[in-house]
């Protein structure tokens, strides 16, 4: 059962990459912090929300300046 789940996960992750609309993005962030990521793009900036576990559950909010 574990091998089937891992195989299905790897197949799902290996799908073709495609361009996204520059309005919203949803994904998984790995590193520090690890968690689910939601991003809303503006004209020049992006609002990035990451929710994930660490020692306790926490939320990281940041405003990033996009390069053209």
Q: What is the DSSP annotation of the chain?
A: -HHHHHHHHHHHHTSPP----SSEEEEEE-SSS-EEEEEEE-SSEEEEEEEE-SSS-EEEEEEEEPP-
Domain-embedded: residue 5: no
Mean of all residue pLDDT scores within the chain: 74
In the structure, what pLDDT confidence band is assigned to residue 16 with cuts at 50, 70 and 90?
A: low
Q: Total domain count for the chain? A: 1
pLDDT > 70 fraction of the chain, expressed in percent and rounded? 66
Answer whether residue 27 is part of any domain: yes
Q: What is the mean pLDDT of residues 39-67?
A: 68
Residue 2 lies in a domain: no
Before 33, cis peptide (omega within 30)?
Answer: yes
Pick the more confident residue, 65 or 39: 39
Q: Which domain holds residue 65?
A: 22-68
**CA–CA separation, 51 and 55 (whole Å):** 13
Considering the domain boundaries, does residue 36 fall inside one?
Answer: yes
Decide if 15 is inside a domain.
no
Query: Is 8 within the bounds of a domain?
Result: no
What band does 18 get if pLDDT is binned at 50, 70 and 90? low
The answer to whether residue 9 is domain-embedded is no
């Amino acid at each position: 059962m574990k091998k089937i789940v891992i195989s299905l996960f790897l197949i799902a992750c290996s799908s073709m990459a495609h361009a996204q609309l520059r309005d919203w993005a949803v994904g998984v962030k790995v590193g520090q912090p690890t968690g689910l990521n939601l991003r809303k793009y503006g004209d020049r900036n992006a609002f990035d929300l990451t929710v994930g576990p660490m020692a306790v559950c926490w939320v990281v909010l940041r405003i990033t300046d996009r390069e053209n």
